[in-house]
Chain A
Amino acid sequence: MEVYKKIEAKKAPSSSVGAIIWMRKNLFSSPLNTAMTLLAIAFLFWVIPPFIKWAITDANFKGTTKADCTGDGACWVFIKVKLQMFMYGFYPEVERWRVNLTYGLFLVVIVAFKYLKHSMTKIAIATVYFIIAFFLIHGGYFGLAEVDTNKWGGLMLTIVISAVGIIFSFPLGILFAFGRDSKLPIIKSISVTYIEFIRAVPLITILFLSAVILPLFFPEGISFNKLLRAMIGLVLFEAAYVSETIRGGLQAIPSGQHEAADAIGLSYWQKMLLIILPQALKVAIPNLVGVFISLFQNTTLVLIIGLFDLLAMVQLTTSDAHWLGFETEGYVFVTLVFWVFCYLMSKYSKSLENRFNTDLK
């Protein structure tokens, strides 16, 4: 048998590698691109140095009072002093370990999900986690002191509202997506009406309805928790959007899949849950994550009904007469926090997409 000698691949010619070539190809390939590149560089030069000067060079990091902010730049002392409020709101200091423990357990659950195969176990774990999280944060049982929801605030409240929003709007959205494609006329028309009605109303209106108008319809003396009302409003709102996203996924499934499932005698729910939904969700992941990211950002609207989420906390802390005039620092901080969260969410969605990618591309 003839033995072939492996010949090393030749390197690319020097005229097509290297930084200069890369720049010529990507940044200066045409007069228009050259002009755009130069403009972009000029813009960055115009924006970045003043920002760095403001945020780092001239900024104040040390101290505990407004008087310590002597430089012309940002006063991060403000953020440092108020950090606990941004993170936990008015949650009692001695009880904050409960919030931290809930965060910690969340990471454990995420890691566990990576190694678990069976989806029923996952759902069970998620449900148990959710119940534990509720008892931990709200308390009132098992010797934990009760922390009333009006003490919840800051980033913690933002996370609680978005977690509840995501967890409940997801199954509800799936039901409405099934309903909209249903052959039963009543279910179909209820679903269509619900989705179209909710999608035609801005979230602000729904929050106002839940916060301002709803209390007037309750009998005297029955006051419904304001946070709960806001959460219900948010879940109902987001469910309509989730359902339309999932319906997009459902429509991508070829009718052969339905017919094959029918042919082997699966019931409607077996067909939908075992055959159709897993494939539809896979298609819908990028859009679903988009919906959830916008849900996370939408939670800031609760400030208009007097709940202190992260953004509202900035407004409250800047009205402290001893710390007036630090809105900019506060908003930059909030921007950063939101960016980190949204970036992590989209990274997680990317990893989900890769994990479930069964396409033969």
Chain B
Amino acid sequence: MSKFSSRITKLSVAVLTIAGLTASVASADTLSDTMSQGYVKCGVNTGLPGFSVADQTGKWSGIDVDVCRAVAAAVLGDASKVKYTPLTAKERFTALQSGEIDILSRNTTWTETRDASLGLNFAGVNFYDGQAFMVHKSLGVKNANELNGAAVCVQSGTTTELNLASYFASHGMKYKSVSYDTTDQVRNGYESGRCGVMTSDSSQLHALQSTLKNPAGSVILPQIISKEPLGPVVRQGDDVWFNIVKWSYNAMVAAEERGITSKNVDKLKATTKDPAIKRILGLEGRLGENLHLKKDWAYNIIKQVGNYGESYYRNVGMGSPLKIKRGLNAQWKDGGLQYSPPFK
């Protein structure tokens, strides 16, 4: 029976792959579909601290969720008009390909394979994540290259483990791996002193740190040893929709760069003389028409969702329990990678 069932599994994997590769490019006019149904269909994580989480009224929040809200504000003028579909890692791409959702904003790493072979387009990077180390403060380690000989707690069977091995090998250092099956176990192992160092994605480490008995007793080292650019994804073949998602996100980044916030946007709209701000807010130029949207599309985003900095602050930054520093996610002017092409 087990042989048979493994064959079935193989068969279903094969069907899945073929179906995934040949999935017909869904309806080419997502924008007018969205307009007529009155909501944006957005796929999110089933629960990831700071990225997407629901409260008991079914209201979703998080930095990934804000991308969906921004698109809804731009297209429909109301950030709350989103239908969220919580997805697991395995079903996420199928849900997008089959048209069950129109945007996938679910901490999805942008890789060449996904971009080029799944019939998908990545519309930007709303969070630059990467693998990092957390150490007990008592070790006095300030830098990842001081970790020679350390015992490292890691989740087994993940790319995290491979990144760890290649980092230590490339720096000519030795380490002892202590692997566990789930993140909870990794945390318990770290807390009980089985290892002095723990490694995982940076955002994950911050979430785990806040659950430790003594969060201040640990420190997350600044080095990032892998690239995990996370961003919203759309179907290939509908460039109007692709542009809308890409520029909705860019509007949030550009608004932060120009100092437009949800609080001062009304005042700026009435008083500003800056042509760049005027263009973003739809007072000048044809930017809205170019995207097949109304003039005030970006105003609605900033007013209802806020700029990128505000979203970051309340979901994962200092205004949240996660307290993740801006790091790579700072504006380009501040040494980060968040850079919006010009609104011209």
Contact = CB atoms under 8 A, between A and B. Distances in A.
B271 interface: no
A263 interface: no
A319 B48 contact: yes
A325 B186 CA distance: 13
A202 interface: yes
B88 A304 contact: yes
Contact of B91 (A201, A202, A305): A305
A220 interface: yes
A150 interface: yes
A52 interface: no
Q: Is the interface of A mostly helix, strand, loop or mixed?
A: helix
B282 interface: no
Contacts of A151: 58
Contacts of A312: 46
A8 interface: no
B219 interface: no
A123 interface: no
Interface string A305-328: 110100010011111111011010
A196 B5 CA distance: 11
Nearest to B323: A321
Chain A contact-residue range equals: 35 or more
Interface stretch (B20-28, B222-230, B239-247): B20-28
A90 B60 CA distance: 11
B12 A306 contact: no
Nearest to A151: B58
Interface stretch (A26-34, A100-108, A207-215, A237-245): A207-215
A84 interface: yes
A312 B86 CA distance: 11
Contact of A218 (B15, B48, B56, B98): B98
A212 B56 contact: no
Given A220-B24, A315-B47, A320-B49, A205 B12 contact: yes
A295 interface: no
B321 to A, nearest CB: 5
B159 interface: no
A321 B98 contact: no
Given A150-B85, A316-B47, A211 B91 contact: yes
Given A150-B83, A200-B5, A324-B49, A213 B207 contact: no
B98 A327 contact: no
A293 B253 CA distance: 52
Contacts of B19: 213, 216-217
Nearest to A82: B56
Interface of B: 1, 4-5, 8-9, 12, 15-16, 19-20, 23-24, 26-27, 46-50, 53-58, 83-88, 90-91, 94-95, 97-100, 184, 207-208, 210-212, 315, 320-322
